[in-house]
Amino acid sequence: MSTLHNTESQTPPRDEFESSAKDEQWQHYRGRIESKTGKWIGGDDVNIRGYSLFNDLFAKTSYMQILVLNATGRLISKELACWLENNFMCMSYPDSRIWCNQVGALHGSMRTTPTAATASGSLAADSRIYGGSQTSQSAMRYLAHAFQRYQSGTSIETLINDAPVRNGRPAIIGFARPVFRNDERIQPHREMSETLGFEEGEYMQFANALSHYLETHYSMGINIGGYTAAFMLDQGFSPKEVYTIKNMCVASGVTACYTDFFEKAEHSHLPQYCTDVRYTGPSPRPVPTKNRS
């Protein structure tokens, strides 16, 4: 074995490095963390965005209020936290046919830890077509931009006509749904919003107008992504904030599907014959023996 090389005694002092002075900002952070988010004061308290956990928040706020506070720095009302918690319920169906839940079920089938299953399922739902987090960001960006144009005088018809077309219909994130056209979550959300005292803001009214046009002309309407996008814009959140708040919103359904298959036999989640996979690649061929050039 060669001689071990210990860099500790050989690292020259800082001022012996030739420096362009461009590295100053990293010098500043070497061995130092600066945070505006929070601090654990061991044995005493925790501060979250300026609030004392044990004096201001603990047993006084809900977990969802803390989740949003951690994600955005905003301490939201109990009503809005309740709205979001109910919204999360509708993003985590315990049905292992749904893509992220397939991941959870397959983790269960392979007996991973519950954490691996839930984290992987949540990663799977970080998707541009479903999942409620990235899709909320996309829908909010679309709605915000379209509303700006609408306020500048562009008609709903023009806005719809300007959207890309897929399968003969406008492809607008937040309107229509990958699997079923009618979204069973919309009406309960409208009722919940009213019960909690939220009035329809300008983005929701605009989203309803878009939805009405799409229903009339294309038999498609707003889905939960579009509804959530409009509601959260009316509450003053940015698309990035909502992505951040909702990044684990499918987690509970994934965990459920993980537990469903953890106790079942190995390979019990949709086992496949070899021929259940359609192969469309090159036909069997011999491996070339000569050097390839």
Q: How far is the CB of 105 from other proteins (least distance, A)?
A: 16
Q: How far apart are CA 164 and CA 171, in angstroms?
A: 6
Residues numbered 191 to 250 that lie near other proteins (CB under 8 A) are: none
**Closer by beta carbon to other proteins, 66 or else 224:** 66
Identify the H or E element spanning 254.
helix 251-262
The contact mask relative to other proteins for 268-287 (x = CB under 8 A, - = no) is ---xxxxxxxxxxxxxxxxx
Amino acid in the structure at residue 254: V
Sheet of strand 38-41, all strands in order from the earlier edge strand to the far edge: 38-41, 45-48, 51-52
289 makes contact with other proteins (CB under 8 A): yes
Backbone angles phi, psi at 87, to 5 degrees: -60, -45
Q: How far apart are CA 162 and CA 153, in angstroms?
A: 14
Q: How far is the CB of 118 from other proteins (least distance, A)?
A: 12
38 makes contact with other proteins (CB under 8 A): yes
**Closer by beta carbon to other proteins, 164 or else 286:** 286
Pairing relationship of beta strands 45-48 and 51-52 according to DSSP bridges: antiparallel
Q: How far apart are CA 140 and CA 19, in angstroms?
A: 45
Size of the residue set binding other proteins (CB under 8 A): 49
Contact between residue 172 and residue 142 where contact means Cβ atoms under 8 Å apart: yes
**Closer by beta carbon to other proteins, 47 or else 136:** 47
User: Residue 275 carries which DSSP code?
Assistant: G
292 makes contact with other proteins (CB under 8 A): yes
Which stretch in 15-23, 60-68, 79-87, 213-221 sits in contact with other proteins by CB under 8 A?
15-23
Which stretch in 43-51, 74-82, 100-108, 128-136 sits in contact with other proteins by CB under 8 A?
43-51
- Exposed/middle/buried for residue 233 (C-beta within 10 Å: 0-12, 13-18, 19+): buried
20 makes contact with other proteins (CB under 8 A): yes
Residues 6+ apart with CB under 8 A from 166: none
- Exposed/middle/buried for residue 45 (C-beta within 10 Å: 0-12, 13-18, 19+): middle
Binding-site member from 13, 17, 26, 179 for other proteins (CB under 8 A): 26
50 makes contact with other proteins (CB under 8 A): yes
The contact mask relative to other proteins for 102-141 (x = CB under 8 A, - = no) is ----------xx-xx--xx--x------------------
267 makes contact with other proteins (CB under 8 A): yes
Q: How far is the CB of 135 from other proteins (least distance, A)?
A: 18
Contact between residue 268 and residue 95 where contact means Cβ atoms under 8 Å apart: no
Q: How far is the CB of 129 from other proteins (least distance, A)?
A: 15
Return residues touching other proteins (CB under 8 A): 20, 22-26, 31-39, 41, 47, 49-50, 112-113, 115-116, 119-120, 123, 267, 271-289, 291-293
